[in-house]
Structures are given as structure tokens and as C-alpha cells.
Structure 1
Amino acid sequence: MSETDLPAPDSDELRQLLTREDLRSLYLFLYDRRRNPPTMVEIRAHAAAANGESHSQTDRRVRELRDWFRLPVVRTGRVHVYRLEGRADEQQGERSGVSPKVRGEVLSAKRCAQCGKTPAEDHVKLEVDHKIPHSWGGTDDMENLQPLCTQCNHDKQAFYSSMDPFEEQIRTATAHLEPHRRIGELLKAFHIAGVDTPSRVVGVVASMHQYQEDWQKRMRELRKLGWDYDTIKRKENGRIRSYYRLTAFTDWPDGNIAAEIKRREKAKKRAKS
């Protein structure tokens, strides 16, 4: 699909495709800015002026629009911009989404999976959250869903939206079930792009399928497989941020990665004794 496949902003086709005014407003803004794609700061400013939306609401609209259209984040100089390129390869906007039955099963836990608050005791409202967002390759499968209270869900969306510029690299890694492979493939994707990997992105990707209490240990264990990386510290907005720069990598071993790491650790100990 190409830019020529984009429906005109005032067309009946677009009104049938995007039934909500807020989505059509965002589409119109991005459509008009095809030759000069906007940054997220500009998108948020437009949405606030046009619809009075908060940042988290705008971030959600961007993710929703990707159900119908390709909207990659592209690095231009020192900034990242959102470029409307064409229709999505698959019209995800037509999917059935989370069924009422599955939604009920997810919410039956009656407790926020993040803060532990409950509707009965804390008077919070629970929402169905996708552990891995659709835009990062997540699905509507039960394993990818969890109950979150409204506040935790909004906080998570705001945090995840800050990583939108790295969406392409994140999608490369999310499909892998083993944390070592997710981390390694993420480092490789950033390496190929010529960009250092932010530690906060590594932490999120490492815990996507199962929470990793010590994902830094998984990082260090990659060295036992012949991988290596440098750690870079940078001061940004008054805070010290950590980044990783991949310097060496090898093919993944056959079979279970964690088991192979343990095997090599034991072999090294035997060699020393």
C-alpha cells in the first residue's frame, strides 16, 4: 500500500472507516502534514487545541489510528516524526477485539495486576490492558491481557508512548519467548539502526512475556554466549540515563538458551578446578 491509497479527509470512505470525530481530526492533521511529518509534541499540541485532549488520550488515538493506517516513527535529524504512509497491511480496525467472554474472564480477578487495588475495597475501576500493545505486535489472546485500574492503565500508556520512537526495534524483539533472546534481538535491532539502546526500553522488553526481576542479570548472561556491549551514561534533562551499545554477538544456541548458559557456566567451573 502507498500514500495514493489514503482516503481523502472529506470522503465518505474515511467517514465509514473512522466513525469517530477525534480519529478523523487526527487523520486530517497527519494527512495535511505528509510532506512535513509532525513530532509527537506537535500532534499533542494539535489534539489539545482541536479536541481538548490530554497527552494520554492523544497517545491512545495514535495507536488506534494504526489499526487502519501505517504510521511509522521515523528519525529525522535529531527528532522523531510520525509519517502517514498508507493503509495498514491488514485492516486491524475491523477485528473483533476482546470478546465479552474473555473480557469477563480477565476482569474476574477483581484486582489490579499492577497496584493490587480492588473495586470493592478501593473503589477503582478495572480495565482490560494489553501487556504487549497491538502496535508492538501484541494480540487479543488471553495470555496478553491483564486487569489494570484506570490510573495504572493511564500511567502505563503514557510510559509506553514515550517509547514510540523505538517501535520498529521493539517489534523485532517482542515475538521471542525467551528473555535472553528478546534482549539480544533488541540490542541487534538498535545496533543495525545505528542507535544506542535505552536501558528503560530493555527493561520493558525483557519483561514482556514474563516479569524479569533482574533483567540486568539476563544482560550479563549474554556475555557467556559470546555477546558483548558497552554501557554509556548520558545526562539528559538533569537526569543520568543509561544506554547500551552492542559490540559483539553470535548465533543463538540450539535448544533452551538458559540451559545452555548454565551448561557453559558448569563447564567453566570444571575447567578451573
Structure 2
Amino acid sequence: MPDAETRAVYQVLYQSRDEPLAMPAIRERVNALTGKANLQMDRRLRSLRTHFDVPAQRVPGKSNLFVYPLLGWNPDADKRTARKSIPASVRALVHQTYGNRCAACGRTPKDDQVKLVIDHMVPLDLDGTNEPDNLQLLCEEDNHDKQALFADHQENAAALRKSLSLPEVHLRIGELLKAMPGENVPKELIVLVAREENHGDPTKRMRELRSLGWVIRNSQRKEGRRVLSFYRLEHWEPWPPGGPQAAVASLERARRRKKRTRESAANSSQE
């Protein structure tokens, strides 16, 4: 049975379903209904999302503004209801692991006045779990960005489900590209699948995949003031027997040995 505050959030979302509201307006209306301020809105939304489809949708032309439409029942409700909530001890462990810092942008509540939330690297509706190794800290802004990105790519759910839970970053990126053949895959989606702290460097990962014989084309498109980057897979090779990470490390060691040999030869010729 949901608590009174969660029921109030549902009431506001239901009443505004034809014209979805942004979080400040939702919070204001919920506070008016309950007479309480500083409600944990992220927790209330997570509770509602067990049963209802309430995505975060970016407002066109507003990079950091999202609205929350109530779209109906969550088709995955039965499976989500069966999942246990995250224990307090696990939440404390995640905060300790990430040093109370956003895994995406590195900001902290103390230094940057951001609010941090527990995020599932692999979302529950893409077969993620509540295990500690699937949890990270994100600030509300990056968490909303992630939700909006997943919402924008719902048609690629099968590709995301296949790639997100793989154990190596090269496998995750490569299998995503393979699952979207001939498509221009946005950099943001690759960063999301890479699951590397502080956004990682997809340019470096693409270079490493190319060293394994993959052909990946990069393109850019200007959208307003933003320049969007895309990657398209044109050819791929089977994964090395020991895995791509070991193969890339071996190639890098060979490159360094070759460089040292050249430098040594150059120094000898100057003596």
C-alpha cells in the first residue's frame, strides 16, 4: 500500500497527464496536497515506476529540463514488483564506493550542491539487479539525462539488453554496434553502454576496437548549438579467444616495445 506522499505524487501526475509537468511544478503541487516540504521525490517516483510507466522526457530546446508524463501501467510491473528494494546497508556501501561523488560528472553535494541518487547501471527493466556491482551514484541531472536517453532509444531495448550486462567495456560497445548494423549510433548511447566513470573516452575505445580489425566510421551533426557525434559499424571481427581487453593490452605492450626499440636505435646512432 503506497504512503500518502506517493499517492499525492500519483494524483499530480494523473491530473497533469495531458500536459506533463517538470519536477519543480510537481514538487510544488505535491507539497500543497500533503502540507509537507522536501519530500524525497526520486524515491516516490521509483515506487510509482514499479507499477506505472513514468519516463523522464527532455523538453525540446531545454537540455536540463524534463517533464514526467504518466503513460499508463508498466508492462514489466509483475517482474519489478517481485524485486526487493535496495537495503540501507547496500546504499551505504554504494555511497562509500563512489566517495559520495557522481559517477558521471564527479560533482559532490558538499562542493557543488547537487543531490545524489542510487542508479542501476543496467536498468531493472533491462534485466538489471539490485546487486552492489550494478549500482552507482549519479547526480539528479545525470540521472535524468540517462532516463531520457533510454526513453529516446526504447526501440533499441533488445540491443541494450544484450550489451549492457557484458563484463568488458569493448564487448559492451562492440555488441551494441553489432546489434545496430548500418545505424549511426549516438555517442551518448555508447557512453551509457560503456559504463565507465566520468564518461570514459569512447574515442579511445573506438581506436582500440579498430586495432582489432574493426571498421568504425565517425560522423558529426550540428543541432542548434550542440555538435552531436555518431559511430557506425561497417565491419567487425570475431572476438579474440582471451577477450578484447587482453588483446588490446597485448597490442599496446607490443607498441611500447617497438617504440623503445626505435628510441634505443636512435640514441645509439647519435653516439
TM range, normalised to the smaller chain? 0.5 to 0.7
Please tell me whether Structure 1 or Structure 2 has the larger radius of gyration of its CA atoms. Answer: 2
CA shift at 1:154, angstroms? 1.0
Change beyond 3 A, Cα 1:188–1:60: farther
Q: Secondary structure at the match of 2:173?
A: helix
Q: What is the identity, as a one-letter code, of the residue corresponding to 2:89?
A: K
Map Cα deviations across residues 155-197 of structure 1 (whole Å, 9 max, x no partner): 1122212312124143332101111111111212332xx6411
- What residue is the counterpart of 2:21 in the other structure? 47
**Structure 2: how far apart are the matches of 1:22 and 1:94?**
22
Percent of residue pairs bearing the same amino acid type = 30
Structure 1 residue 87 and structure 2 residue 108: aligned?
no
Change beyond 3 A, Cα 1:22–1:181: same
- What residue is the counterpart of 1:68 in the other structure? 51
CA shift at 1:108, angstroms? 4.8
Map Cα deviations across residues 58-106 of structure 1 (whole Å, 9 max, x no partner): 9988766553357899xxxxxxx99758631743134321112222333
Q: Among 154, 159, 162, which residue is 2:140 paired with?
A: 154
Q: Secondary structure at the match of 2:221?
A: strand
Q: What is the identity, as a one-letter code, of the residue corresponding to 2:143?
A: Q
State which drifts further: 20-29 or 89-98.
20-29
Task: Within 5 Å, give how 1:156-175 maps onto structure 2.
Answer: 156-163=142-149, 164-167=151-154, 168=157, 169-175=159-165
Change beyond 3 A, Cα 1:201–1:125: closer
Q: How does the TM-score come out when normalised to structure 2?
A: 0.62
Extract unaligned runs of 5+ from structure 1: 1-13, 31-41, 74-80
Is the 1:129–1:145 Cα contact (8 Å) retained in structure 2? Answer: yes
**Structure 2: how far apart are the matches of 1:197 and 1:123?**
32
C-alpha RMSD over aligned residues: 4.4
Figure out how many residues of one structure are paired with residues of the other and give that number: 224
**Structure 1: how far apart are the matches of 2:120 and 2:187?**
19
Is the 2:119–2:143 Cα contact (8 Å) retained in structure 1? Answer: no
Is the 1:69–1:86 Cα contact (8 Å) retained in structure 2? Answer: yes
- What residue is the counterpart of 1:259 in the other structure? 246
Is the 1:173–1:205 Cα contact (8 Å) retained in structure 2? Answer: yes
CA shift at 1:236, angstroms? 0.6
Task: Within 5 Å, give how 1:74-223 maps onto structure 2.
Answer: 87-88=75-76, 90-108=78-96, 111-114=99-102, 115=106, 117=108, 127-132=116-121, 133-147=123-137, 153-163=139-149, 164-167=151-154, 168=157, 169-191=159-181, 195-206=183-194, 208=195, 213-223=200-210
CA shift at 1:128, angstroms? 4.7
Extract unaligned runs of 5+ from structure 2: 28-39, 57-68, 263-271
Structure 1 residue 232 and structure 2 residue 222: aligned?
no
- What residue is the counterpart of 2:60 in the other structure? none
Is the 2:10–2:48 Cα contact (8 Å) retained in structure 1? Answer: yes
